[in-house]
Structure 1
Amino acid sequence: MINKPMGNKRRMLLLLIVVMVQVLFLSGIAGSYYAVGWFGTEIKIKTIPVDPRDFLYGDYVTLSYEISVLKPSLWKESGDKPDEGERVYVALKPAANGIYEAVGVYRSKPAVSPDQAVLQAIVAYSWEESIHVLYGMERYYVPEGTGKELENQASNMIVRVKIASWGQARISGLEAMK
């Protein structure tokens, strides 16, 4: 009987540790999302939004970026171009108008100058004329009733993106091109 209370204390301590690990894990996921907004560098990318409605989630805009279709000459690695589903890193540099353009595609994260940025992407497909990539920012939810309006302004849209130093990116807003 003397060992029984000690066993209960150990179980309670183990349960407390398991619960704390779960809470820390979920807090880390949420914190990393907000940390992108706090510590990320903002860049602007030209886009074309389409398809403004989802019955479960409300209005959204599907975004297709100019930097989603890359020229094969931007591939900076030796050997074959990347395969479908492969993770790549796209180096971006601001043009004179402040909109970022792709300047290189790499298998591993490249070192870039302070005025450049790197976005992580997944290769959707690649062939002789182009490399098509997805950045994980192709859907942006907007206030109810504004999706159609954004669709009508599609040719003049710019996306503001925050990129953290560890590679995570999130959309911080849409704006009309000036």
Structure 2
Amino acid sequence: MIRKKLLMILVGFQVLFLIGMVLSGYVIERVGDTITLQTKAEPYDYIVFEDEITLNFTAEEIRPENWFMSGEPESNQIIYVLLTPSEQGYYQVKAASDKKMDADKNEVIIKARYSYKDHEQNHIVRFGIDHYRTDTSKFAINSSYPRFNVEVALSPWGQSKVVDIEVID
């Protein structure tokens, strides 16, 4: 009898967990901040494969003057990236640190994972939203090095989700 009740409770928790996973994407869009990020120009063959687009954001490359960490970061370490809107409307890096920062009005913080330091001493991080599944036939890509404006929803608890994507060249 106790085993049966315990099994029912465990199944109930699993069902609630699955419902929460499904609803989390919807809730992120409704309660989160929506920002626009721009991608780097990448070769067409590399970024579009069947129904998936690989997104490499300009804000994932952090220059040394925007990097505020005392030591060397470890691979896959959580990094907080403070983004501020540009005059063109997309968000760009203002600062990055392993410590939480305060965002002013119109600024947002996005969680990233540290990847590596490139040959120009820029720190490369990943936002975790670099693959987007969509019907790629809807895009009129006229360049072999296209760039995209990507609308991203950021939840107050740190999750992010790609909402929409638009080809800009």
TM-score by length of 1: 0.81
2-structure distance, mates of 1:106, 1:28: 30
Secondary structure of the corresponding residue to residue 51 of structure 2: strand
Q: Which residue of 2 aligns with 1:140?
A: 132
Secondary structure of the corresponding residue to residue 123 of structure 1: strand
Q: Which runs of 5+ in 1 are unaligned?
A: 1-7
Cα shift at 1:136? 0.8
Residues paired across the two proteins, number: 164
TM-score by length of 2: 0.85
Show structure 1 runs of 4+ deviating over 6 A: none
Q: How does 1:85-164 map to 2 (within 5 A)?
A: 85-126=76-117, 129-143=121-135, 145-146=137-138, 149-150=140-141, 152=143, 154-164=145-155
Q: Which runs of 5+ in 2 are unaligned?
A: none
**Is this contact kept in 2: 1:83–1:126, CA < 8 A?**
no
Cα shift at 1:87? 1.0
CA separation of 1:34 and 1:153: change in aligned 2, threshold 3 A = farther
Q: Which residue of 2 aligns with 1:69?
A: 61
Q: Which residue of 1 aligns with 2:10?
A: 18
What value does the CA root-mean-square deviation take over the aligned residues? Answer: 2.2
2-structure distance, mates of 1:59, 1:151: 18
Q: How does 1:9-88 map to 2 (within 5 A)?
A: 10-47=2-39, 48=41, 50-53=46-49, 58-77=50-69, 79-88=70-79
Secondary structure of the corresponding residue to residue 83 of structure 1: coil
**Is this contact kept in 2: 1:87–1:123, CA < 8 A?**
yes
Q: Which residue of 1 aligns with 2:159?
A: 168
Cα shift at 1:11? 2.7
CA separation of 1:102 and 1:133: change in aligned 2, threshold 3 A = same
Structure number, greater radius of gyration: 1
**Is this contact kept in 2: 1:91–1:104, CA < 8 A?**
yes
2-structure distance, mates of 1:103, 1:159: 19
**In terms of mean alpha carbon deviation, does 124-133 or 159-168 score higher?**
124-133
Residue 38 of structure 1 aligns with an amino acid whose one-letter code is R
